[in-house]
Structures are given as structure tokens and as C-alpha cells.
Chains A and B, each alone.
Chain A
């Protein structure tokens, strides 16, 4: 896994102007999250929102985040396009070409039955593939970024 290009989050936190401007005071990882008031009031002040937005924007442009996004989109978008097309093809075939769909394959089983069961099979298969891809290729990198952001914005209530 490649690390977030911001490097050590603690080092960054010190020269982050938002931390000094905020009423939260110095916050160290061992401590509990600052009490509710600064958290609640913070978004109301325009300047603070901008700074928080800047952090998110910086993370959005970072190589680590782009990698996570690329892995997600690179899998989910083509797969979604594929199964929606496959499903629509199936529905259109079933409604417009019943003759072809009624052709026997083996015993009583016809093309329509095979196609219908294939829809079930591809759904299960894609579910498995997506879950596996997310678990192996995305979860750890996303969690790393979440921790980085948690330390930088001080907003995260980690459970």
C-alpha cells in the first residue's frame, strides 16, 4: 500500500493553521476528542469551513486517495455498465423474441430458463467478486486515509 503523500500526519498537524485557530487547543492522539462545542460551532464560521475544505481538497488530490478512487471506479463502473446491459438485453430478448427464448436446450429446459438462471449466477458471481476486490484492494488504503484525516481534522470519533 502506498502511503498518503502528506507523510507523517503529526508533523503536518502542527503547522496546520486550523488547529491553532480552533478553540480545541492542543490535541494529542491519546486524548479523547475535544468536547462538542468547538465541533458544533466550527462549521458555522466561514473561515474554518474553508480550512477544513482545504484539507479535504488536499487529500482528494493526493496520490493515495486517487489510487483508492481509481480502484473503486475501475471495478464498479465497468461492472455496473456490464450487468445493467446484460439485464436489459435479457428483458428485451424475453419480450421481443419469445420464439428464440423458447428453443429447447436439454429436456424441458429452454434458452429462456438458461438465461434466467444465468442472471442469478452472474449476480452471485459479481457480488462475490466485488466484495473480494473491495476487501483486498481498497479497504486498507481507505482506512489509512481515514486515520490520516481523523488526526488532521480532529473531528473523527473513532469507534
Chain B
């Protein structure tokens, strides 16, 4: 059947129609595979370990692939290579930040978090504190980060339809967003962590395969001569040598330079605070395998970003920056256009096939990423917020049987996935014209400001207290969100969220430069001003457990 449609697609005169036919077939195949995975994973009894941590028995390699799948979003695949195709070196700055961030995860976070937590970030933060306030704070910030990230991905899914399937209408984009939302809710509610993990693994294999294929084709075209590739890229960009040096995008005024430094800080510190990345470390049995999965992830992600550099410069060289800009002002179509050109150009069989393959890979990427984030945020709602808010109102002091409580959490998590999915769909439809890269940068900034200070303090600082940890979370979260509201992204610019009014006070688009130090400062201040000192015995337990794995589940 797919062969027939492929042949039909090739002979269609309308080029958008050709892309559409084959891309839809490939995408349908991916969706079918993921649904089979979900059905297979859903057969198991849904205990909370099964639902939130996939049974904790994934191998480091499997988890490394899944982490990479969670991390390499369509923003990286299409966005970064597009930025490189348009702005040259300045696009490369992004990928360096995204990769170096993994050293923070590997060295300071992965093993210790695996040893101290069960399902979520809040488990680690509240390990030696009073449960309720810390869980509520960490749960809230996790949900905020996840929803920001989710909206960014789904807006991307919407515009991808317009770009790749030729459906320029608002209706097509709306249906794409709703479709992606519905699928992700289905994966999470029926498959839990096990299905989500396998979907990530399949997606990573597809994404890496597609990227390797295109990279080899670019290098082949230039006979493996990188110098030649760079010279053609500089020529094709219309900027000459300036294209290969920093400054084209962020070299304007001091505001734009500071803005990039702020973004860089948020990227490198934010990854270690992303809830859907931290949750991944609970799917392996030990801290040692958590470390090995981070090593796998760094290898895959590093190789991937190295290849996106080749693709970005390749697009500038083969397609030309002006053509890319003409197709999409943000550069998101650079890779699909490159694929088409490498396959032989528009209208040829090779070009059509490659274009469709890239489109389908990008869809698979988005779908897998949103499923991962939805799962992490529904875990935060069920395991942190719901648990913390329910306990005091429950039967005084009497605890329900553990098993019933866990069943309850899984049930709530399923409802939460539906709720978060609906909220994300609604927000994405509202934010349809927003810049995706900005939304992703914002999610990283909030994660770096609200989650990372509290996490590092509670793992390493003996005197850190409950008040300190609550203040650290809110002291990063509130300034980050407030600064965004007062930034030129929301008001005062023609492309702002509310272009009509102007109440912007803060000049930068990314709040990280201010809000990350605020988070650390608030945590310190809260600790110093605490009414009660930290409990040395509970710190001893946290520290010993985090480094030895004693008592880890």
C-alpha cells in the first residue's frame, strides 16, 4: 500500500502534494509503531514503579538513547541547523551550550539524584525537609517548566505542518496541534514510562539515522573537504567571511550581547533542572547505571550536534541562505530544503523521498519529546502536588496502605496527563505565532533558576533548611516569570505578545542572568533566616545515601 502511494506521490505534479503523500505514509508508520509499543507496555499491571519509572530495569544504553530522545527536540534538529544556515557561527553557540550542560548533569546530579529519589525532583528536594511545603514548591516549578517546554514543542509541531505538508491554513496547524496533543496523552495514560521510553529509543534511532545519512551526503558532495564546505557556506550566505565568525545575530548592541550571555547561562545550568530529564534517571536500577546512561547520552547528543553544524553550513552552501530565509524567516526549513537539494532537487524522486523522510523524522521527534514531558509533569502533579495537598486533610495520622496510595497516585497521574495535555493544546493554539526558540530558552531559564539552586543546596549544603529550599524555588521561579512579563517579548515591540501596549522595563529577553543568581541568593537567605537549624542526622542520611546508594529504591 505504501508503495502505491509512493508511486502516486512521485507522479503528482504539485510538489507540496508529493511531499505530503510520502511524509504522511512515513508518519503513519511511526504512529502505528508507537501505538503498538503503547499497547504492549499497557498490558502490564500499573504499579507506580511501573508507571513512573518503567519498572526501573532499563539498561544504561537503552536509557542513554531515551535521554537523548527526550533532549534532542525538533528545535535542535530544525531550529539550530536553521540558525546556522542563516547566521552561521552564532547558531553554533546554541549547540555548544546544550552539550556542555550535560557535564553538570553527569558530575553533580545524575548519580546523586538516582540514589536519593524515587520518581521526581521533589523526592530529592524534600528528602531531609518538611515534606509538604517543599513538595508543593518543587511540584509547582516542575509543572511550570514542563508546560513552557511543552507549549514550545507543540507550537513547533503546528508550524511544521505548514512547512512540510503544504497545509498553510490555520486549520491544518490547529489540527496538527490537537492531534499531537491527543497522541501524547494516549501514550502517557496507557503506556506510562515503559512505553514512553521505548518511543524515545525508536525516535532517537530514527533521528540519528536521518542525521547521519544527510551528514554523509553533505560531506560526500564536498569530497570530505571541510575547508571547501566552509568556503561554499560563506559564499552561499551572502555574508562572506563574517558568516564563519560570531556576531551576525548577537553582535548588535550590548543588550543583544548580554541577552545571549543570559541565554548561555540558562542553557548550561538549566538542563540539570529539567524534570523530564531527571525523571529518566529513575528508570535504571543503580547510580552506576545512571552515570553510564548519562555517558551514553553525552556521546549521542554530542555526535548529533556536531552533525547539525555540518547540516547548517551545508544548507548555506548547497541551498543558500536567501532561499532558506525565503521559505521560512526563522530558518526552520533549512534541513528539509537541504535534503531535497541533496536528493537531486525539487521534483526529482530522490529529492521528494529525502524531503519526506526528514519531515517524518521531525514529526517523530516532536511526538516523542512531548510524551516525555507530559509524563514528567503528570508525575509531578500526582506524586508531589496531590500527595502533599491531600495528606493533612486525610484521616488524622493514619496512613493508608502503601499499595492503595500508589494505585491512587497512578490514577491521578493519568487524569493529570489528560489535564496537562488539554492545557498545553489550549496554550499552544494561543501562542501559535510565538518564537519557539524563545519559549525553549525560557523553560531552561526557569529550570536553572528554580530547580537547580535548591537541588545543589540540598545535595551538598549541610545547613540547608526547609525554608531555604522553599525560598530557593520561589526565589528563582517568581523573578524569572516576572522578568519575562516585563521584558520586550511580552510588550513594547511589534512582534511582542501584546504589541499594542508597552510596559516593558527589563531590556533582556532571557531572564537567566538575573533570576539564576536570585534563586541561589534566596536559598541562602532563607537558610540563614530559618527559625530552626538543619537536622544533622537527616543530612547525614541524605549525604551517605547520595554517595553510596544505601537505601535506594
Residues of A within 8 A of B (CB): 36, 40, 44, 50, 52-54, 56-57, 59-60, 65, 68-69, 72, 76, 79-80, 83-84, 87-88, 90-92, 94-96, 98, 101-102, 107-110, 112-113, 116, 119-120, 123-124, 126-127, 130-131, 134, 139, 142-143, 145-146, 149-150, 153, 155-157, 159
Q: Please state if B234 and A108 are interface contacts (CB–CB under 8 Å).
A: yes
Contact check, B246 vs A52: say whether CB atoms are below 8 A apart. Answer: no
Find chain A residues with CB under 8 A from B100 CB.
83, 87, 119, 123
Bound CA–CA A63/B295 (angstroms)? 30
Cβ of B493 within 8 Å of any chain A Cβ, yes or no, is no
| Alpha-carbon gap, A91 to B548, bound state (A) | 36
* Interface members, chain B 441-481 (any A CB < 8 Å): none
Contact surface of B with A, Cβ cutoff 8 Å: 89-90, 92-93, 96-97, 99-100, 102-104, 106-108, 111, 226-227, 230-231, 234, 241-242, 244-247, 250-251, 257, 260-261, 264-265, 268, 285, 287-288, 291-292, 295, 298-299, 302, 305-306, 399, 402, 535-538, 540-541, 543-545, 547-551, 553
How far, in whole Å, are A84 and B244 apart by their CA atoms in the complex?
24
Other-chain contact of A153, B92, B537, B543, B551 (Cβ < 8 Å) = B551
Asked if A112 contacts B550 (CB within 8 A), the reply is no
Smallest Cβ distance from A138 to chain B, in angstroms? 8
Q: Specify the main secondary structure of chain A where it touches its partner.
A: helix
* B250 contact set on A, CB distance < 8 A: 94-95
User: Chain B's interface: helix, strand, loop or mixed, by majority?
Assistant: helix
Tell me, in angstroms, the Cα distance from A142 to B288 when the chains sit together. 10
B97 near A91 with CB under 8 A, answer: yes
A-chain residues with CB within 8 Å of residue B242 when the two chains form the complex: 102
If the complex has contacts A53-B541, A80-B103, A119-B96, are A107 and B227 also in contact, measured as CB distance less than 8 A? yes
**Quick one: given A107-B227, A145-B548, are A59 and B247 in contact (CB under 8 Å)?**
no
Q: A68-B547, A96-B257, A123-B302 are in contact. Are A108 and B246 (CB under 8 A)?
A: no
Distance (whole angstroms) from the CB of A14 to the closest CB of chain B:
20
Residue in A closest to B402 when the chains form the complex, CB atoms: A40
Known A-B contacts A56-B541, A146-B548; A91 and B93 likewise in contact (beta carbons under 8 Å) = yes
CB of B231 within 8 A of CB of A108, answer: yes
Query: Which B residues are in CB contact (< 8 Å) with A112?
Result: 89, 244-246
Of B246, B285, B545, the contact of A159 (CB 8 Å cutoff): B285
B295–A131 touching, CB < 8 Å:
yes
Q: Decide: A123 and B107 in contact? CB cutoff 8 A.
A: no
Report the Cα distance A130→B288, complex, angstroms.
Answer: 12
Residues of B within 8 A of A139 (CB): 288
Give the docked Cα–Cα distance between A159 and B57 (Å): 10
Q: A54-B537, A91-B260 are in contact. Are A146 and B549 (CB under 8 A)?
A: yes
Q: A91-B93, A96-B257, A130-B106 are in contact. Are A119 and B543 (CB under 8 A)?
A: no
Assess the B99–A150 pair: CB atoms within 8 A.
no
- Known contacts A113-B89, A120-B302, A127-B295, then 6 further A-B pairs from the complex at CB < 8 Å, ordered by chain A residue: A53-B537, A87-B96, A95-B251, A108-B234, A112-B89, A127-B298
- Taking the nearest CB of chain B, how far is it from the CB of A55, in angstroms? 9
Contacts of A159 in B (CB 8 A): 285
Measured between alpha carbons, how far is A43 from B223 in the docked complex, in Å?
67
Contacts of A127 in B (CB 8 A): 102-103, 106, 295, 298-299
* B residues in contact with A65, CB < 8 Å: 544, 547-548
Central interface residue in A56, A80, A109, A143, by most chain B CB within 10 Å: A56
Q: Is the CB of B261 within 8 A of A120?
A: no
Could you list 18 A-B pairs, sorted by A, with CB under 8 Å? A60-B540, A60-B544, A79-B107, A94-B89, A94-B246, A95-B260, A108-B244, A112-B244, A113-B89, A116-B92, A119-B99, A123-B100, A126-B107, A131-B291, A131-B292, A149-B548, A153-B551, A155-B551
Contact of A120 among B96, B106, B402, B548 (CB under 8 A): B96
The answer to whether B246 and A123 touch across the interface, beta carbons within 8 angstroms, is no
Query: Contacts A80-B108, A119-B100, A126-B103: A94 and B93 contacting too (C-beta < 8 A)?
Result: yes
- Cβ B544 vs Cβ A59 within 8 A: yes
Set of chain B residues within 8 Å of A120, measured between Cβ atoms:
96, 99, 302, 305-306
| A85 CB to nearest chain B CB (Å) | 11
Q: How far is the CB of A123 from chain B (nearest CB, A)?
A: 6
Contact (Cβ within 8 A) A102 B245: yes
Is the beta-carbon distance between B251 and A98 smaller than 8 angstroms? yes
Hey, which chain A residues are within 8 Å of B292, CB to CB? Answer: 131
Contact A53-B538, Cβ < 8 Å, known A90-B96, A112-B244: yes
Nearest B residue (CB) for A51: B537
Candidates B92, B234, B261; contact of A95 at CB < 8 Å: B261
Residues in A with CB closer than 8 Å to B90 are 94
Contacts of A156 in B (CB 8 A): 550-551
- Cα–Cα, bound, A69→B347 (Å): 63
- A102's partner among B244, B538, B553 (CB-CB below 8 A) is B244
* Set A79, A80, A88, A143: member contacting B264, Cβ < 8 A: A88
Given contacts A57-B537, A87-B268, contact A123 B230 (CB under 8 A): no
